[in-house]
Amino acid sequence: MSYSTLYDVIVCGGGTAGVAAAIASARGGAKTLLVERIGTLGGQMSVSGPPGFAYARLHNHKGERDVGGIVQETYERLYRSGHALPHYGYKVRMRGAYTFEYVDPDWWTALMFEMMDEEGVELLLDTLVVGVTKDGDKVNGIAVENANGRNEIKGKVLIDCTGEGYVAIQAGCEMAMVPKEKIQPHTLAFTVDGIDWDKLLQYIRSHPEQFSHKQLMYPYDDKNTEEDVREMYRRCYDIKELGEIMGFYELRDIALANNDWHPYSGAGFFLTPKEGGHIQAHFQHSSQVGELSPTDAWDLTKCMVECRKQNMIAWRFFKKYVPGFENAYITKVCTELRLREGPRIVGDYVLTKEDVYETRQFPDTIGKSSFKAGGYHVASLDTLNVCAEDRADMTITKDGGSYDIPYRCLVPKKIENLLAAGKCVSTDRPAYLRYLHQTMVTGQAAGAAAALCVKKNVTPRQLENQVKDLQDVLVKQGAILFETVKDTAKYGV
């Protein structure tokens, strides 16, 4: 059976990439359907999240903003309504390009529902995309399963925003994937309230050497010394000024000796803002399970069972050893795993770590990023570790600037009428564009491109020759494509 409506654009998956794609597509005048497997929007942002640093690293090492568009628009709306924290642009953090524009993930989701309504995006929730319909190499619809049974829905352009490239795989696209023995470990996140922040801050101030400084080092000269970072911890009286609170080295080692810690993860957490400036702690480094495939349900099940065990170990450790956690309590254990690494499409261009290093500019840019390449997580006591054999993959931009993301990374080879956005766009392993802001940048571009294809009656691949028109649309939607912006004072304190 098939639903009678023909959509211009069907967005598959309602995570960060999917919502951005749907908004941009509808803004481009396309009749847009967003199909999501579960009953809400947000994916890893709010269902299996919140991510530690929701909306972070929107500035490069030079302190210039390189992400705008829907990311900035949604941040500003949440900030104005009291559901986001100001951008704390402290010198040490700015140099480390490790600043945060924290948003409340639950209110972020509420805003997404509001925006779907405002833009006229049609939603189909609780619906699994199980396949595509094709005419030769051209996709022209999806097969879905939901409470109504199995149906087909026709669309002129499809956008795969499923995170793991599920639609692209069904369409027969060539995919790239690291073997599961090497895959980055998955995590089960949980959120905690009731922490005595003053007590914890007292411990942080008096034990700055017990916390991680690696993320905050300025990699281009010795402007940020270890001592600068320690001084930042020593002077911290407001937990909101800190981002990642990782380390607790001494306490962790005592716990290890007492069999109260596991060897798969460092100890630490991120922050999540709630109403009225209230802060919760969010744990995502507490469970690290490697060598399990994100596209195998048996492996995912094994992972969930192991993650649950590791979470309990982490939780008992914090309650027993960490000052300020005595009366803390868990408010949310996520229902889904956070998957760090999955399949990527092989597109008309494959973004590489050399492009990242060279801060390469492309004529078909659809957005920018300054995130380093190859920063893999491994299951070890130091979660930001990289296996010795993978160390050569780690690359920062050579001058602290930003690189372009080409439109061609969104266009899969050979298969027509399909675009990819989010985690599964075309990159080599180190240049993987999986961070939230990156997924929303590619999502927005894919949505705008799909709408333009329908308007012009061209395929996404043919649009590569008219990419200037796409860039005009994106610039009008506030995206940063060409020049980075010096706006650090805007929300800074």
Q: Which residues bind ligand FAD (CB under 6 A)?
A: 12-18, 35-38, 43-45, 49, 51-53, 56, 128-129, 161-163, 166, 187, 284, 338-340, 422-423, 434-437, 439
Kindly compute the dihedral angle of the four CA atoms of residues 311, 317, 322, 326, in this order, to the nearest 10 degrees: 90
Is the separation of the CB atoms in 436 and 46 below 8 Å?
no
Can you count the helices (H) and strands (E) in the chain? 13, 16
Identify which of 483, 359, 365, 382 has the alpha carbon closest to the alpha carbon of residue 431.
Answer: 359
| Closer residue to ligand FAD, CB minimum distance, 234 or 308 | 308
Q: d(Cα 405, Cα 349) in Å, to the nearest integer?
A: 10
Residue 69, classed as helix, strand or coil, is helix
| Closer residue to ligand FAD, CB minimum distance, 168 or 454 | 168
Q: Which runs of consecutive H residues, i.e. helices, occur in 123-192?
A: 166-171
Residue 272, classed as helix, strand or coil, is strand
Residue 133: partners with Cβ closer than 8 Å, 6 or more residues away: 139, 140, 141, 142, 143, 152, 154
Residue 53, classed as helix, strand or coil, is coil
Whose CB is nearest to ligand FAD? 15
- What's the closest the beta carbon of residue 14 comes to ligand FAD, in angstroms? 5
- What's the closest the beta carbon of residue 257 comes to ligand FAD, in angstroms? 27
DSSP per-residue letters across 2-27: EEEEEEEEEEE--BHHHHHHHHHHHH
| Spacing of C-alpha 280 from chain mean position | 20
| Closer residue to ligand FAD, CB minimum distance, 207 or 288 | 288
For the chain, first and last CA: distance in Å? 58
- What's the closest the beta carbon of residue 16 comes to ligand FAD, in angstroms? 4
- What's the closest the beta carbon of residue 442 comes to ligand FAD, in angstroms? 8
- What's the closest the beta carbon of residue 380 comes to ligand FAD, in angstroms? 15
| Closer residue to ligand FAD, CB minimum distance, 58 or 229 | 58
| Closer residue to ligand FAD, CB minimum distance, 130 or 475 | 130
Local structure of residue 43 (DSSP, 8 states): G
- What's the closest the beta carbon of residue 120 comes to ligand FAD, in angstroms? 21
| Closer residue to ligand FAD, CB minimum distance, 283 or 325 | 283
- What's the closest the beta carbon of residue 466 comes to ligand FAD, in angstroms? 26
- What's the closest the beta carbon of residue 195 comes to ligand FAD, in angstroms? 19
| Closer residue to ligand FAD, CB minimum distance, 37 or 353 | 37
DSSP per-residue letters across 365-389: EEEEE-PPB-----SSSSTT---GG
| Closer residue to ligand FAD, CB minimum distance, 207 or 283 | 283
